[in-house]
Structure 1
Amino acid sequence: MDYLQLQQQVANSIAKDNFDDWLTCIPALTALITTPQDPLHHGEGNVWIHTQMVLRALIEQTEFAKATQEQQFVLFMTALLHDIAKPETTVIDEVTGKISQPRHSQKGEIRSRVLLWQMAVPFELREQICRIIAVHQVPFFALSDAHQRYSPQYLVHRLSWQLPVWMLCLQAKADMLGRICTDKARVLDEVELFKQLALEEDCLYKPRQFVDDYTRVHYFRGSNVLPDYALYPQQGSKVILMSGLPASGKNSWVSKHYPTWPVASYDDARSELKLKHGENEGLVIQFVLAKVKQWLRDKQPFIWNATHLSQDMRQKALDLLYAYHAEVEIVYIEQPEQELYRRNLKRDTSLANKKIQRMFSKWQVPLPTEAHQVSYVINQ
């Protein structure tokens, strides 16, 4: 099934108020039927029952009716897929029988990304869906001091740079309406208060404005600064951090756009050290880091060319770069699945396509909050 067929299926589901066809369209959803939920928070039963209730609650909302066709597609697919990772994350306590699904939001983001990528859903729409899924529970507790490291204002500011906050709020509202639980009214109030906070901060429908990118980056990294007051910049290297699956075209992009810049590359390091992919990776990493640190100390521009696929891996690299006051642009590159495999087979590499597929479980697209600038080069 491709994007156009998905659009038509969404329209049919809305018109007919029937969602059974999705079990055939997306077979992974069938596992929701046999996945139990904690009755304290989900008295309605299994995950598929809950998902259908959420979809009906969403479609009934005035905001959904007023949304554009693309916005309705994003909202519908978000509701359909928001709990797709619950089957693989379900844990039942042997003593108490309590059911939990830890990190199902984060894993659901990745599962949905791979699924929608394979269906050729446009990048911008796909990422809106995945980003909302990743944080779809945040409005439930964002205003509760007991649950948060950050202030509600900070959370809503950061989220506004990652996704349409009004869509997140609408998804959260539908998620609560589509369940049976004793604290539904309280949580719905929390969602509405979160929405009102975003409106007051002028970031319900657009990103929160900042005085400059330097201040924004340090604010999102937790520095004690305010969005409207400029932080005096300290000079460092200009760094382009590449990101993307293997064979997506990172080397070609670097050669075309920055042929004279020095490049820190794990693949190049393996060649210099005469090592195969996966062999003595610790030595390869230290070899690259030594170059990176020297260039940072010299404050010269350079490119760090690696997959940097997960947020954790990027965070380690970014922590180092920002410690030296670097100005960072992340360039993320992506290709369709079959093109990726075709390119990889033509490369002189020991990395098989099956190994690339195993990397999908860590695939998190860079967020606009991670750097001074994030550029997305899609299917080029």
Structure 2
Amino acid sequence: MRPFLLDLQAGGRPDFPALVEALGDVLPLLADLARTPQDPEWHGEGDVATHTHLVLAEAYDLAEGLRPEDRLVFVLAAALHDLGKALTTRRAEADTGQRRTISPRHADRGRSYLAYRLPELGLPYPVVHTVMALVGHHHDLGRTLNIGSERAYRRLARQANLPLLYLLEVADIRGRIAADQGARLEDLELFRLGAEEYGMWGNPEPYREWREVIDGTLAAFPPEYRDLVREQGILDYEAGLIQTPEEAVARGYAARAGFPQLVVTCGPSGSGKSAWVAGHLPDYDVVSLDLLREELAGKRADQSVNGRVLQEAKERLKASLRAGRRVVWDATNTRRDFRGIPLRLGFDYGALTTLAVFQPPLSTVFERNPVRTHAVPAQVVASQVENAEFPYVTEAHRTVVLDEFQRPVARTP
């Protein structure tokens, strides 16, 4: 980890320009924040860099008393929370006919931008993932409060550290000039009270009782079956379809006769997906979009047959799922809509779905690609990274994240 980050962890208070100078080689988007405007009604302080400078100052005060590891995560998230605005800010006409400055989905874009760049800083992966979660979910407190249900709080609590997320939003609101600042801070207190009432505040395992009930009831069954019943039950609960873990056990009864398993890879070209599949899933059926392009057009790079390739891939996947086999869909799948195709089929056929997410540092991707047997043009790899939508744990039953050495660095559940 860089000395600058070690100092930040130990209590340093660099201002935003100093942070841009220290981290700008890995996060060049930081330099664009000074040129990124904001709507004056909600951000009277000015551009995104000015806002972030104020948020960072508030974060230092709020960080008093945090453990060093939590301080590092919190301060980095405060500095990076609006990074995605540099990618998404535009002018648009509102319902009132006024032209407004908007930044749709900037939290999600910022999270994905950080996914392959934060590892370049030598940060431990738990730090990387916690920062990403805070950045990606920093607008979800208000949405959760508006819904107000226990399931909404549980869903957010299993994706982000709620006390740190709360502190980030306090710093975010204090660091801007707007007429609704007081009301927004009051809403945050209501959010905190709701999280405490539902037992989600500082709860690292919001579904512990579900795990205990389901795993205890199904102790005699294989772990894959317990995972399917538990994780599908959680998704069904969050969708409002069931209320209790006992209902999840009942809904999973049919799968006792057998069920397919689906692994979907996700990562840019050169991140090690196919090598991992060959080494770790040797007895799985493989649906590879690259191999299908080679089969149908004679070469992997031929994009003119993508429609035929996708249709054939879906048919082969459905055949494996119908037969109850284990199958892997091997493709980049860096976009949510692309990986959603096999995942939806997996859910439809009652499969246990797993996302295998490859998250090497950005430099590793570009270093490996030219020496691969089937190298991909550098501009294609760059496009995959720039347009990547890093997965959320809610997209599949299980998620495993692997580093540049194909070692698991995060696993859910």
TM over 0.5: yes
Task: Say yes or no: does 1:224 pair with 2:241.
Answer: yes
Distance 1:86 1:229 in 2: 44
From the superposition, tell whether residues 87 and 344 of structure 1 become closer, same or farther in structure 2 (CA, over 3 Å).
closer
The equivalent residue for 1:142 is: 144
Determine whether 1:243 maps to 2:260. no
Q: Give the residue type in structure 2 aligned to 1:135.
A: H
* Structure 1 length-normalised TM: 0.89
Q: Per-residue displacement from partner, 1:88-147 (whole Å, max 9, x unpaired)?
A: 3222357734322222212211223343233343322112212221221121343225xx
| Inter-partner Cα distance in structure 1 for 2:45 and 2:86 | 17
Over 3 Å counting, the alpha-carbon distance change for 1:116 and 1:199 in structure 2 is same
Match of 1:30 in 2: 31
Moved more, 44-53 or 107-116: 107-116
Could you tell me which residue of structure 2 aligns to residue 202 of structure 1?
199
Aligned: 1:127 with 2:129: yes
Asked if structure 2 preserves the Cα contact closer than 8 Å seen for 1:83 and 1:108, the reply is yes
Q: Which moved more, 1:317-326 or 1:160-169?
A: 160-169
The aligned counterpart of 2:119 is: 117
Partner of 1:91: 90
Q: Which residue is 1:260 aligned to?
A: 283
Note the C-alpha offset of 1:294: 0.6
**Cα deviations across residues 280-302 of structure 1 (Å, max 9, x unaligned)?**
11111111111100111111112
Deviations 1:251-307 (A, max 9, x none): 222222221221111112122222432231111111111110011111111222222
The aligned residue for residue 148 of structure 1 is: none
Which of 181, 185, 210 matches 1:184? 181
- What is residue 283 of structure 1 aligned with on the other side? 308
Q: Distance between the aligned counterparts of 1:99 and 1:268, measured in 2? A: 45
Matches within 5 A, 1:317-336: 317-336=342-361
Hey, what's the Cα distance between the residues in 1 that align with 2:46 and 2:186? Answer: 24
Q: 1:93 to 1:285 in 2, by over 3 A?
A: closer
Partners of 1:131 and 1:33 lie apart in 2 by: 24
Q: What's the counterpart of residue 343 of structure 1?
A: 368
Instruction: Give the counterpart of 1:168 among 148, 165, 180.
Output: 165
Say what the alpha-carbon RMSD is for the aligned residues.
Answer: 2.3
User: 2 CA distance for matches of 1:361 and 1:342?
Assistant: 17
Offset from partner CA, 1:10-51 (integer Å, 9 cap, x none): 358x54563321232225323222332222211222222211
SS of match in other structure, 1:292: helix
State whether residues 112 and 390 of structure 2, in contact with CA within 8 Å, keep that contact through their aligned partners in structure 1: no
1:360 pairs with one of 385, 388, 393: 385
CA-CA distance at 1:60 after TM superposition: 1.3
Provide structure 1 residue ranges, at least 5 long, that are not aligned to the other structure.
146-150
The more displaced of 160-169 and 283-292 is 160-169
Q: CA deviation at 1:227?
A: 4.7
- Any stretches of 5+ residues in structure 2 without a counterpart? 215-226, 406-413
Is the 8 Å Cα contact of residues 217 and 370 (structure 1) preserved in structure 2? no
In structure 2, the CA distance between the partners of 1:168 and 1:152, relative to structure 1 (3 Å rule), is farther
Between 356-365 and 18-27, report the one with greater CA deviation: 18-27
Distance 2:126 2:265 in 1: 19
Aligned-pair distance for 1:310? 2.5
**TM-score, normalised with respect to structure 2:** 0.82
**What amino acid does structure 2 have at the position aligned with 1:220?**
L
Cα distance in structure 2, aligned partners of 1:28 and 1:336: 17
Name the SS for the 2:16 alignment partner: coil
User: Equivalents in 2 of 1:114, 1:36: separation in Å?
Assistant: 26
Q: Secondary structure at the match of 1:33?
A: helix
What do residues 307-357 of structure 1 show as CA deviations (whole Å, max 9, x unaligned)? 222333222321111011001222222333333233322223252222111
1:20 aligns with 2:14: no
CA contact under 8 A between 1:219 and 1:227: conserved in structure 2? Answer: no
Percent same amino acid among aligned pairs? 25
The amino acid that maps onto 1:283 is R
